[in-house]
Structure 1
Amino acid sequence: MADLLVEQPQEITISKTFPTKPKLKPKSKALSKTSESKYWSSFKSHQISNLISSIPSIDFSPISPHHFAAANSASLTLFSSSTLSPTSTFSSFSDVVTSCSFRCDGSLIAASDLSGLIRVFDVKTRTPLRRLRSHARPVRFVKYPSLDKLHLVSGGDDSVVKYWDVAGESVVLDLYGHRDYVRCGDCSPIDGDMFVTGSYDHTVKLWDVRVDNKESVIEVNHGHPVEDVIFLPSGGMVATAGGNSVKIWDLIGGGKMVYSMESHNKTVTSICVGKLGKESGEEALQYRIFSVALDGYMKVFDYAKMKVTHSMRFPAPLMSIGSSLDCMTRVIGSSNGIIFAGRRKAKEDVGESKVRNIWALGSVEDPQRRALRPTYFRYFHRSQGEKPNEGDHLIMRQKKVKLAEHDKLLKKFRHKEALVSVLGGKNTENVVAVMEELVARRKLLKCVVNLDEEELGLLLGFLHKHSTMPRHSALLTGLTRKVLEMRAEDIRASDALKGHIRNLKRSVQEEIRIQHSLQEIQGVISPLLRIAGRR
């Protein structure tokens, strides 16, 4: 009876084994893509490289199928937005074409050139309809109002903004106020009588043709020569581009600056508004600002959240950008005559599968599948290929853990063999991880004592290479000190180990010299930063 009360020794088993990993693992520099970044990356890129010179202006037709026009050299080329191939060319210009604009019905297109002439063409027949000449110097922009078919707005190097009567080929208003080249402009999407212009005098002016004194209604200072200006879809805000910044202004609030985006490294040359998603539904309300610059980057800016959501680099300085109203095509013009076009694949509409027309002889309904019963073989294989729904509880198969050689040795408590095994490899992180595990088990120093001369040479070689690395110096520096204390006699007796110690001493002295140099530089920079912080 007493023998039964004696407790039997219990066998200790490890239920689950985990591979050793370093505690201080460096973070990956590659950021995971967001859903919006994946959306913009889904545009299939296509290069159009048969143009002559820089592409200063791109404009999309507001009417489906949303063809686009690109100004290059002394010609204006129309492209199909579906095939991205040229459909027609207007080449009757006497000088370099600087700007182009479709009318709101897509039937006419206006273009300006460096000779100061504005021409209006019929898009289908390519017939020149009007010649508007009043500017004394090159015309830099021309724009059709979005709600007006009879007028045009233009501006040029003569610092004058002109409001045209297209039918009569005459100037309705000459608007003075800019003191330098007028380089850009845009018309209000909600009022055909209002438009905004930007100039190299750093100012952006809002004009209303109904005002009698011919003065601007609102004026804001961008702080740099203004390269482009656009109205945002609400009509109450504008975005301006100049220098390396894109700024958003609240016109209803009297011209107050809302936000300044300064993510480009060089001059921002063009901006436009694009939609995220389709023409209908909730996604249609999500507008973005596209900006391109001479640094070769295109940025997508969410002005609702005030942050850049996507960035893409191109191999040339970028001059212009346009986006179609159906969100399917994005076109960027570069300074070397290449157009970088991107088109998103459209999902084909799935037709009704209930009724089909066969040879126009009538409608035949699809046969219905028989209900599943336990006697059918298909009953036991149902839902094998189904994807889980949002609320389903998933039971995943456990993945088999593949252990490395040193992990297997640690599992068997063969600590010295595990350390020697990982020292023979080339993975620094694994060596540090095994050392951290041995420190946790309080076996690292015991392993160091039991190393023979060859194995000790491996350890000293590793310490020579990596003990000065900042990421591992806290562990390896202390270990180096202990190795020198515990194995001093063995090191003195071996010429090979003495060579390792000399190399280790050399690397430590070099690291100390570098740290002293950095402290001297810090002593020089710190007062300068303190002075700059007071300003």
Structure 2
Amino acid sequence: MAENKTAIAKTFPVKPKLKPASNKSTPTPESKYWKSFKQPKETPTQTLISSITSLSFSPTQPHDFAATHSATVTIFSAQTLEPKSTIAAFSDTATSAIFRSDGRLLAAGDLSGSVRIFDVKSRVPLRHLRGHSRPVRVVRYPKADKLHLFSGGDDAIVKYWDVTTETQIFDLIGHKDYVRCGDVCPVNDDMFVSGSYDHKIKLWDIRVSSSGSVMEINHGKPVEDVIYLPSGGLIATAGGNSVKIWDVIGGGRLLHSMESHNKTVTSICVGKIGKESGEEAQQYRVLSVSLDGYMKVFDYAKFKITHSMRFPNPLLSIGFSPDCSTRVIGTSNGTLYVGKRKVKENIEGELGEFSGFGAVEEAPKRALRPSYFRYFHRGQNEKPVEGDYLIMRPKKVKVAEHDKLLKKFRHKEALVSALNGKNPENIVAVMEELVARKKLLKCVSNLDTEEIGLLLRFLQRYSTTPRYAGLLMGLAKKVVEMRAEDVRGSEELRGHIRNLKRTVEEEIRLQQSLQEIQGIISPLLRIAARR
């Protein structure tokens, strides 16, 4: 006796065709790190009265920062990000404010050609260094030496000063154009570097100052900024639309040129990332800003851009705090973009010794037993780690109305239900399923006048869409052929046909215009390719 076997087919919801994948990539841990520098909601964006030409952080806690704008230096609090004090004792526009290594003094130049030194707390002027015949553009303190500084200006001279006596020790001559930037060596107070609009970067050693610069590097464009990298063996220079890394120990050899900016790079600084970004601690980056409004983060160890951020204004200056908690950017219209990052507090020792009470001991945790309700819910909030075998709970599939009708082989009702849903992706998916079942034309022949109008409205709207045109144009032709008598007998259906005809004619005219344009451009592209 033959055994009857019934095959039970499992049905699945119809799925629309997937759209092309977007170009958005998954953000990296380092990108998340730089995006975590955000303006606190309670602190409004600071707007000063003119362009912010320089930014400098105090090397000591709490790392307040100074911004130069107009004839003023404003010192901001690192905690509240609000103006803390203002120094306005300049006779002309202030430039290049810098803190001394102990954070107690602040020096700044101005366009009158002088350098002034102030007490940070009292804002009292302590020294007035006169010697430049043109505007002073750069002032820098050595890393540890508290008694000297160097300055450079539009007179193309770099001066080394004895601050206590207000006298210049050396005139370092060698540049042929404006000196606009400079930096001190992080490992040797006797060495510093200067950059000029003559495209040259010069390395100076005050121990052999009489012989001129000990090294000269040609950046190729007017130099806007130059910094030493933390090791002391590399320098980074900014000029034109490029940032270049040079090996000083190797004789000034060019290691890499980063040219991702579209306009002049105005300022660069060193930023530091830690374990929070998914990297090892103490990894340094070069942060650059430009007139194109972009801030770029450059990993000079791997020679690649790791993050980019767009701002609405041309950017002139940038600073990064030593404790990695604050990033400040100054703009040409006086807007100060301050990004503050929450630093995880060190909670070790919070339950330490209180005066007179000794050490506070934590209460022992109660062990979970089967008699406790929590025993049966333990581990539900734990996150899986590497090596765990994860069992996912099956998701309940939500079935749409047209899928239920397709499962019952009610093809016409499924098509009408999809048309009423007004989702073109679902409608086309149902039509493709009916084509696979060889039932689409039969469904069209069984539609009444109102349902035919619904179908024609859909065809008129989406038949020229490139994603659906391959199926819908052929279907439109079949609908007109099969239901010609119904169309003639209904004014409403004739209106739908006229609209469909106008849509198709407009698409044909558009395609013809595009072909004409292609015919004009193609010879030009071939000529350009030969050159």
The residue that corresponds to 1:431 in the other structure is 427
The residue that corresponds to 1:326 in the other structure is 323
Query: Aligned in 2, Cα 1:79/1:479: closer, same or farther, shift over 3 Å?
Result: same
Query: Aligned in 2, Cα 1:250/1:437: closer, same or farther, shift over 3 Å?
Result: farther
| Residues 219-251 of structure 1, C-alpha deviations (whole Å, 9 max, x = no match) | 22333x332222222333332333333333343
Q: Is the deviation greater in 397-406 or in 507-516?
A: 507-516
Query: Aligned in 2, Cα 1:474/1:86: closer, same or farther, shift over 3 Å?
Result: same
Tell me, yes or no, if the aligned pair for 2:158 and 2:172 is still in contact at 8 Å: yes
Which of 97, 100, 103 aligns to 2:97? It is 100
Identity %: 66
Q: Is the deviation greater in 412-421 or in 210-219?
A: 210-219
The residue that corresponds to 2:462 in the other structure is 466
Letter in 1 for 2:423: N
Matched, 1:143 2:137: no
Query: Aligned in 2, Cα 1:13/1:262: closer, same or farther, shift over 3 Å?
Result: same
Which of 268, 272, 275 aligns to 1:275? It is 272
Matched, 1:232 2:226: no
Which of 393, 400, 410 aligns to 2:406? It is 410
Q: Is the deviation greater in 375-384 or in 315-324?
A: 375-384
The residue that corresponds to 1:197 in the other structure is 194
| Residues 161-215 of structure 1, C-alpha deviations (whole Å, 9 max, x = no match) | 2333333433333333433322222222233333333333334333344364314
Tell me, yes or no, if the aligned pair for 1:161 and 1:174 is still in contact at 8 Å: yes
Tell me, yes or no, if the aligned pair for 1:230 and 1:271 is still in contact at 8 Å: yes
Tell me, yes or no, if the aligned pair for 2:50 and 2:334 is still in contact at 8 Å: yes
Query: Aligned in 2, Cα 1:103/1:357: closer, same or farther, shift over 3 Å?
Result: closer
Tell me, yes or no, if the aligned pair for 1:222 and 1:247 is still in contact at 8 Å: no
The residue that corresponds to 2:477 in the other structure is 481
Deviation at 1:10, TM superposition (A): 1.0
Q: Matches of 1:31 and 1:279 in 2, distance apart?
A: 21
Q: CA RMSD in A?
A: 2.9
Matched, 1:304 2:298: no
Which of 199, 218, 221 aligns to 2:219? It is 221
Secondary structure in 2 matching 1:447: helix
Tell me, yes or no, if the aligned pair for 2:101 and 2:146 is still in contact at 8 Å: yes
Letter in 1 for 2:31: S
Q: Matches of 1:154 and 1:530 in 2, distance apart?
A: 55
Query: Aligned in 2, Cα 1:503/1:49: closer, same or farther, shift over 3 Å?
Result: same
Tell me, yes or no, if the aligned pair for 2:197 and 2:223 is still in contact at 8 Å: yes
Q: Matches of 2:153 and 2:100 in 1, distance apart?
A: 20
Tell me, yes or no, if the aligned pair for 2:226 and 2:236 is still in contact at 8 Å: yes
Name stretches of at least 5 consecutive residues in structure 2 with no aligned partner.
none
Tell me, yes or no, if the aligned pair for 1:318 and 1:333 is still in contact at 8 Å: yes
Secondary structure in 2 matching 1:201: coil
Secondary structure in 2 matching 1:56: strand
The residue that corresponds to 1:161 in the other structure is 158
Matched, 1:111 2:105: no
- Structure 2-normalised TM-score? 0.89
Matched, 1:6 2:2: yes
Deviation at 1:96, TM superposition (A): 0.8
The alignment of Structure 1 onto Structure 2 pairs a total of residues equal to 527
The residue that corresponds to 1:120 in the other structure is 117
Which of 7, 13, 20 aligns to 1:19? It is 13
Q: Matches of 1:281 and 1:470 in 2, distance apart?
A: 43
Query: Aligned in 2, Cα 1:306/1:474: closer, same or farther, shift over 3 Å?
Result: farther
Matched, 1:39 2:33: yes
Deviation at 1:50, TM superposition (A): 5.7
Q: Matches of 2:529 and 2:226 in 1, distance apart?
A: 34
Secondary structure in 1 matching 2:211: coil
Matched, 1:508 2:487: no
Tell me, yes or no, if the aligned pair for 2:228 and 2:234 is still in contact at 8 Å: yes
The residue that corresponds to 1:519 in the other structure is 515
Tell me, yes or no, if the aligned pair for 2:104 and 2:121 is still in contact at 8 Å: yes
Q: Matches of 1:195 and 1:528 in 2, distance apart?
A: 53
| Residues 57-103 of structure 1, C-alpha deviations (whole Å, 9 max, x = no match) | 10011222212111122121222212222332222111110111122
Q: Matches of 1:372 and 1:48 in 2, distance apart?
A: 51
Q: Matches of 1:65 and 1:252 in 2, distance apart?
A: 34
Deviation at 1:327, TM superposition (A): 0.3
Q: Matches of 1:413 and 1:253 in 2, distance apart?
A: 79
Tell me, yes or no, if the aligned pair for 1:208 and 1:217 is still in contact at 8 Å: no
Deviation at 1:112, TM superposition (A): 0.5
Deviation at 1:469, TM superposition (A): 1.8
Secondary structure in 2 matching 1:175: strand
Secondary structure in 1 matching 2:78: coil
The residue that corresponds to 1:445 in the other structure is 441
Deviation at 1:493, TM superposition (A): 4.5
Matched, 1:317 2:314: yes
Letter in 1 for 2:289: V
Q: Matches of 1:203 and 1:9 in 2, distance apart?
A: 89
